[in-house]
Amino acid sequence: MADFDGGQVTSDAGVLLLREVERRLGLIRRVAKIIRDRRHPGYTRHSIRKMLSQRVFQIACGYEDADDADTLRDDPALKMACERLPADEALASQPTLSRLENAVTRTDLYRIAEVLVDSFIDSYRTPPVAILLDIDDTADTIHGHQQMALFNAFYDEYCYLPIHIYEGRTGTENLKYLLGLTPNPVLRERAASLVEAADRRFRQERAPVREFGEFPYRAKSWAQDQRIVVKAEHNALGPNTRFVVTNLTTLTPRVVYEKLYCDRGTMELMIKDHKTHLHSDRTSGHRFEANQFRLLLHSMAYILTQILRGYHLQGTSWARAQFDMIRLQVLKIGARVRQLRTRVKIHLPTSYPWQAEWRTAFVSCRASP
């Protein structure tokens, strides 16, 4: 037998963990303060802060489209995450959220970006000696007639190309750069002897080999010579030559390439969390500003989820999990919600297999300064 008499039930009780992260971080609160509210106060029912909270928490829980708001307006856990009681009025609808997205100006976008940078700086208790930033782009395929979308020959499609910047790790050197360089005839000619040496070694040893070298090089648009590190690899698939430009001067070419440049694989996982698991490529609005705002909303959801994983899920099986696994096992938990006179009780499933770990994460979120 089946009925709909189960009371107030949510499938996303874990969003309350993100609520606790936001209460300590204050990222959404800070962003809400710098967005100018141009609405008439007499017709305003939902504050910008609550709408931002609703949108960001929905994204983190796997509801990346504004349309999802219409079916989630009365979800008790989402209401509590947005500082409302389960019995309070419904959250914002899709048209209301869409109006917010289209009302944001370029000035608002610039200030939001500043808040994200400030939040990153504030994450350090003391200034680090140095930081390593990973920078890369990723194709964001358009879905119609979006403003300022252009054709990209490399990806062979019309798209946006947002630049992602992530902190790789702290270091002990001064801040330097290390960037992959697209091969050209001049670079290939300068590296020819190294490529030939790798080819000879492969034919002799019949095993994959790598040769490393370096030389100074100046492109037409460069003010001075720069250090080029070359990796000449040869294996069963043939030659594989890569070039890296850097101003690191004290490390060997092998260390520069294998220990530093190859670490960028970690960044690919970060982009995967941002783009694939949080669906940050849902930039299907017409206005460029609205699409940029959506990307920033997804970035805010990324920051909250990353802090949850990096600080509050340490010591659990989710400490190194991808965002999709965290969403499925940590955030999307069914629960019955009862609003009493003085408190709200959330009854999580008795059959939930990670009770101890979830409780540890919740205590950590509540106890963090």
Find where tokens 């990796």 sit.
231
User: Do the beta carbons of residue 264 and residue 169 sit within 8 Å?
Assistant: no
Distances (CA, A) of 272 to 7, 64, 277, 278: 37, 15, 7, 9
Please, is 28 exposed, middle or buried when counting C-beta atoms within 10 Å of its C-beta (0-12, 13-18, 19+)? buried
Per-residue pLDDT of the chain (369 residues; tens, 9 = 90+): 998 888 899 999 999 999 999 999 999 999 999 999 999 988 899 999 999 999 999 999 999 999 999 999 999 999 999 999 999 999 999 999 999 999 999 999 999 999 999 999 998 888 887 777 788 889 999 888 899 999 999 899 999 999 998 886 544 655 678 888 889 999 999 999 999 999 999 999 989 999 999 999 999 889 999 999 999 999 989 999 999 999 888 889 999 898 888 866 677 888 899 999 999 999 989 999 999 999 999 999 999 999 999 999 999 999 999 999 999 999 999 999 999 999 999 999 999 999 999 999 999 998 865
- Give Cβ neighbours of residue 49 (< 8 Å, ≥ 6 apart): 28, 29, 32
- Measured in whole angstroms, the distance separating CA 105 from the mean position of its chain's CA atoms is 23
Position 95 scores a pLDDT of 96
Find where tokens 């360089």 sit.
181
State the sign of the Cα–Cα–Cα–Cα dihedral 112, 116, 122, 126. Answer: negative
User: Do the beta carbons of residue 334 and residue 11 sit within 8 Å?
Assistant: yes
Q: What is the pTM of this model?
A: 0.83
Position 368 scores a pLDDT of 62
C-alpha dihedral, 12 to 16 to 18 to 20, nearest 10°: 180
SS (H, E, C) the chain: CCCCCCCCEECCCCHHHHHHHHHHHCHHHHHHHHCCCCCCHHHCCCCHHHHHHHHHHHHHCCCCCHHHHHHHCCCHHHHHHCCCCCCCCCCCCHHHHHHHHHHCCHHHHHHHHHHHHHHHHHCCCCCCCCEEEEEEECCEECCCCCCCCEEECCCCEEEECCEEEEEEEECCCCCCCEEEECCCHHHHHHCHHHHHHHHHHHHHHCCCEEEEEEEEECCCCCCCCEEEEEEEEEECCEEEEEEEEECCCCCCHHHHHHHHHHHHHHHHHHHHHHHHHCCCCCCCCCCHHHHHHHHHHHHHHHHHHHHHHHHHCCCCCCCCCCHHHHHHHHHCCCEEEEECCCCEEEECCCCCCCHHHHHHHHHHHHHCC
Distance, CA of 308 to CA of 249 (rounded, Å)? 38
Distance, CA of 301 to CA of 280 (rounded, Å)? 10
Position 76 scores a pLDDT of 97
Measured from the Cβ of residue 94, the count of other Cβ atoms closer than 10 Å reads: 16
C-alpha dihedral, 11 to 14 to 18 to 23, nearest 10°: 100
- Give Cβ neighbours of residue 62 (< 8 Å, ≥ 6 apart): 327, 331, 332
Position 366 scores a pLDDT of 86
Distance, CA of 239 to CA of 274 (rounded, Å)? 33
Position 144 scores a pLDDT of 83
Position 260 scores a pLDDT of 81
Residue 336 forms beta bridges with which residues?
9, 347
- Give Cβ neighbours of residue 88 (< 8 Å, ≥ 6 apart): 79
Residue 134 forms beta bridges with which residues?
166
User: Do the beta carbons of residue 125 and residue 53 sit within 8 Å?
Assistant: no
Position 36 scores a pLDDT of 93
